[in-house]
Amino acid sequence: MKKLLEINNLSIEFNSDRGTTRAVDTISLSLDKGETLGIVGESGSGKSVTALSIMRLLPSPPAKIVSGEILFHQPETLNLLSLPEKGIERIRGAEIAMIFQEPMTSLNPVFRCGHQVTEAIQLHQKTSFAEAKALTLKLFERVKLPDPTRIFNAYPHQISGGQKQRVMIAMAMSCNPSLLIADEPTTALDVTVQKTILDLMRELKEESGLSMLFISHDLGVISEICDRVVVMFQGKIVEEGSVEKILRQPEHPYTRGLVACRPSLKRKLWRMPTVPDFLENAQFESRVVTPAETQNRQKKAANPGAHFTG
């Protein structure tokens, strides 16, 4: 397989009055052409900062790239971190597209959905409005939006959350990118809608052969769509492997926690285990927990140093 993206030794810090936070700590990863790589980790582990650094969308200051390179092989090798602004603008949206968790914040509420997509098309391709409109309607069909003409003329608040995410996916696909970065694309949606969006993304990937970097705090979602996963914890990559391997033989205590904390339909526990249980005690078993132990663990979990949402 040919590599498309390579991140080597990337470290990113944020400076504020209160000091320096290292949000991403010497991470390295690579993504093959046609591959879907998942990044899983709890909230605050550095997933979005990593994604935004690829697109060069981190506000700097306060963000500072302390070390590393991001190589994009398409086909000649470019270090995205050292490209001039003009160069990265050409890559953004045309070679690398991104979709976010909250489509409402990415779509402008005062413009009709269709026009936002035609505008994106015309930014990167020399086409007339009529051609861009025809392409948009085709894309709306491709992302299975019902009644493309109605959606084209609708304002974002007039369509559902799932439909808005489909509009965003259509916009992302409009320039045939070779890499799609999806940062928690289904997190804001309810479970049934989540599934239809994941199905769509899988289909688009198979049809077009694009590579995907798929970010989620939810290992279940990641395992639905990814070939390989990296696990991030406190800015570092603590584990990497195929979805199979991560689910069957997780090695790092944090990953073991993530895998074991997925609810099971087969066993009823007094209390669901949480990731801190695994970090505190690598030997923790998924057994019935006594009320006294529950209280004890809840006290420990209340410790602000151990706050987990992932």
Ligand X SMILES: Nc1ncnc2c1ncn2[C@@H]1O[C@H](COP(=O)(O)OP(=O)(O)O)[C@@H](O)[C@H]1O
Contact status: 48 vs Mg ion (CB under 5 A): yes
Contact status: 186 vs Mg ion (CB under 5 A): no
Which region among 41-49, 101-109, 121-129, 266-274 touches ligand X (by CB under 6 A)? 41-49
HSE value, Cβ hemisphere, 13 Å, CA-based, for 82: 8
Q: How far is the CB of 44 from Mg ion (least distance, A)?
A: 8
DSSP string over 275-306 = HHHHHH-TT--S-PPPHHHHHHHHHHHTSGGG
Q: How many CB atoms lie within 10 A of CB 55?
A: 19
Q: How far is the CB of 253 from Mg ion (least distance, A)?
A: 22
Which region among 39-47, 120-128, 137-145, 265-273 touches ligand X (by CB under 6 A)? 39-47
Contact status: 197 vs ligand X (CB under 6 A): no
Contact status: 56 vs ligand X (CB under 6 A): no
Contact status: 136 vs Mg ion (CB under 5 A): no
Question: Bridge partners of 98?
Answer: 181
Contact status: 106 vs Mg ion (CB under 5 A): no
Cα first-last separation, the chain: 32
Residue selected from 49, 159, 167, 170 as contacting ligand X according to rule CB under 6 A: 49
Contact status: 45 vs Mg ion (CB under 5 A): no
Q: Which of residues 246 and 289 has its CB atom nearest to ligand X in the complex? A: 246
C-beta of residue 13 within 8 angstroms of C-beta of residue 63: yes
Q: How far is the CB of 102 from Mg ion (least distance, A)?
A: 11
Q: Is the peptide bond before 62 cis (omega within 30 degrees of 0)?
A: yes
What is the distance between the alpha carbons of residues 84 and 28, in angstroms, rounded to a whole number?
A: 23
Which stretches within 182-269 are classed as H helix?
Answer: 191-208, 219-225, 243-248, 253-260
Contact status: 72 vs ligand X (CB under 6 A): no
For ligand X, the binding residues (CB under 6 A) are 14, 21, 23, 41, 43-49, 62
